[in-house]
Structures are given as structure tokens and as C-alpha cells.
Amino acid sequence: MRIIRLSLIVIASLAVIGAALFSYYGYSSAPLRAKLSGTLGEDTIVIDGIERSYTFYIPTALNKDPALVFMLHGSLQSVADIRKFTAYQFEQLADQNGFIVVYPAGYKNNWNDCRSAARYPARAENIDDLKFITSLITRFQQRYGSDTAKSFIAGYSNGGHLGFRFALEQPDAIAGIAAISASLPTPDNLACTDVGLAVPVLIMNGTEDPINPYYGGQVTLFGFGDRGDVLSSVASAEHFAHKAGYQGAPSETKHFLNDHADDPTATKYYAWRDGAHAEVILYTITDGGHTIPQGYFRPPRIIGATSKEVNGPAEIWAFFSRQIN
């Protein structure tokens, strides 16, 4: 009887400890939703016999020939997840600036990116995600008058890697990309062909990312699901800068002021920009994790710290808007 009682006490104690650990490392807060003026919709499109779904936001004050911004979720995420991870900031920015936001859903929650080592369903089945996105570009031009020359891709993690695939293989379909928590695959892990055309690129990575190593190396999900090796964040940015025609170091660096006492991160910005070549930007989030910088939503601590000094979605839109102004 005493053994049973002790066993129950141990089990109860472990349950309490497990709950406490989950509460600290796995819990995420819910961001407040701003009051929006426009319409949030959902639809599907058939690509190569497969029904693909997407969510989109059309602001009431839609510009003439509006820009089209795709926000792609990460591996194993959903559209609802990426809207939360970005704290619904893209919808607010769309309200303020008159562009359309589209949140496509990955095939079985993944994207077919350039990493040859990846074995998730979209890659294993060679799903044509480039065709999915370009078909949506055409659909939104036909239905809402979006300017196909103002189509941009922002992506988080696996979604950022699909952005890289566009930049390498189909750069003429987009006006720029922004990749968060993602770095270019190393040559031995690169399953895409670089056509050699330059495109504006923004990269936003944390130095303490537990999944996508800032300084390069193997990408895993906490030791599981090998995605192969990636270049360092700096080497990734330099690849696009050199392809755009820049020589040497970035032309501009900037430190962001951090006035948040509870934010352990610091952000530095490196820009290759001269007005004549495709712009390339690297945001280095010192002590930042596998997170999207913004001050409205705290993701699970297990993926690292989130910068509050930088509003990632706002910085991304500012970057995109410079390509069309």
C-alpha cells in the first residue's frame, strides 16, 4: 500500500513539474486583435488536381493596382498560427497602406523548398508550390486588380525557404522576398537551380535560434527531422548581395534602440543599397530565437526570445514598399 501511495505521489509530482515546464516553455500568449475595416475571406484553388486553400484580407480602402503580399507559415504550422505569430500585423498594415494580404496553406502544413535533405510531404511528393503561388497572383489580379509587378513573398522558417526558392528559380514572378528564421541551404543541400537574376531580399534571423543556426550548420526540429545544412545568415545575405552586383561590405549599418526592460535581444541592420541594384537587407537579432520580431505576441519560450524593439511585419512592409515607390 505504501509503495502504491509513493508511486501516486511521484506521478502527481511529475505531472505538476511537467505542467510547470509546459507553462513556461510551451505556453504562448494570445495577441490582441485590432479592429479592422476590411474583409477576411477563405477560398480554394485546384493545382495539379490537388485542392489548395488560402485565407486573404482585403482592406476597405484598397489602393488602385494594389500590392499583393503573401505571408507563408512555417513547417507544421497553419494559417491561423502564422496570423497569430505575426500578431495580425499584416492585416493592420494592409488597412493602413491599402494592399492585399494572402495566407496560403502549405501541403500537409509544409512547403516544397530547396533543401534536398528535407523529407516532409510537400518535398517527398514534389508538390508544385511555385505554381500554387503564381496561380494565386493571377487570380488576385483578375478578381481584385492587384498589380502582378507588386507581388511579394514573406515567409517564416519553411515559408522563408519557399521564398528563397522563388528568389533562385522564379525571381521574375515576384518583386521581392522576406525570409524570417531561414538561411540558404549549403550547396550540397541545395535542390534548386539558381537562374542568376537578382531580386530584393530581406533576411531576419536570431543568433540563438535553436532550429535555424544563425552561424550555419544543421537544421533540425530539436534534434528530429533533419533538414540538412544551411549557410550562415551573413553568407546567405552576401549571396544575394553579390548576385545583385554589390562588392564588399554592406553600405549601411544601424543599431536599433531597445527600450524594453524585458527584452534581452539587440538588433543590428545591414543594408546593401545604392539605388541601382536590388536591395538586400540583413537583420541580426542578437540573442533572438526562432521567432518573428514584434512586441504584441510571445511565442513559446522553447523556440527562443522574441525581439520587441523591432516590428518585423512593419519592417518587411517598409522594405516591400520601397521596391514599388
- Note the CATH number of domain 37-322: 3.40.50.1820
Q: Are 180 and 205 in contact (CB under 8 A)?
A: yes
Q: What's the rounded Cα separation, in Å, for the pair 118 and 110?
A: 10
Confidence band (pLDDT; 50, 70, 90) for 27? very low
pLDDT at 108: 98
Q: What is the pLDDT of residue 264?
A: 87
Helix H or strand E encompassing 281:
strand 280-286
Q: What pLDDT digit, counting tens, does each position of 47-57 carry?
A: 999 999 999 99
Domain ranges, ordered by start, for the chain: 37-322
Give the distance from CA 110 to its chain's centroid.
Answer: 13
Lowest-confidence range among 141-145, 198-202, 294-298?
A: 294-298
Nearest Cα to Cα of residue 132 among 52, 16, 229: 52
Higher pLDDT, 79 or 226: 79
Strand 252-255 relative to strand 266-272, pairing: antiparallel
pLDDT at 2 over 60: no
State yes or no: pLDDT of 216 exceeds 60: yes
pLDDT bucket at 18, cuts 50 / 70 / 90? very low
Phi/psi region, residue 87 (left: phi>0; alpha: psi -120 to 50; beta: rest), is left
Of 149, 179, 152, 174, give the one whose Cα is nearest residue 164.
179
Site of grid cell 553579390: 242
105 vs 162: CA distance, rounded Å: 12
- Residue 117 and residue 127: Cα distance in Å, rounded? 16
Cell numbers representing residue 169 in the block: 528559380
- CA geometry: angle at 129 spanning 123 and 130, to 5°? 125
Q: Nearest to residue 75, comparing CAs of 52, 53, 107?
A: 107
pLDDT value for 202: 99
Rounded-to-integer distance, Cα 237 and Cα 231, Å: 10
How confident is the model over 77-105, as pLDDT tens digits? Answer: 999 999 999 999 999 999 999 999 999 99
Of residues 154 and 16, more confidently modeled = 154
How many angstroms separate the CA atoms of 132 and 153, rounded? 13
Exposure b/e, 143-168, CB count within 10 A at least 16 = b: eeebbeebbbbbbbbbbbbbbbbbbb
Q: pLDDT band at residue 7, thresholds of 50, 70 and 90?
A: very low
Per cent of the chain over pLDDT 90 is 81
Q: Is the pLDDT of residue 9 over 80?
A: no
Judging by beta carbons within 10 Å of its beta carbon (0-12, 13-18, 19+), is residue 323 exposed, middle or buried?
Answer: middle
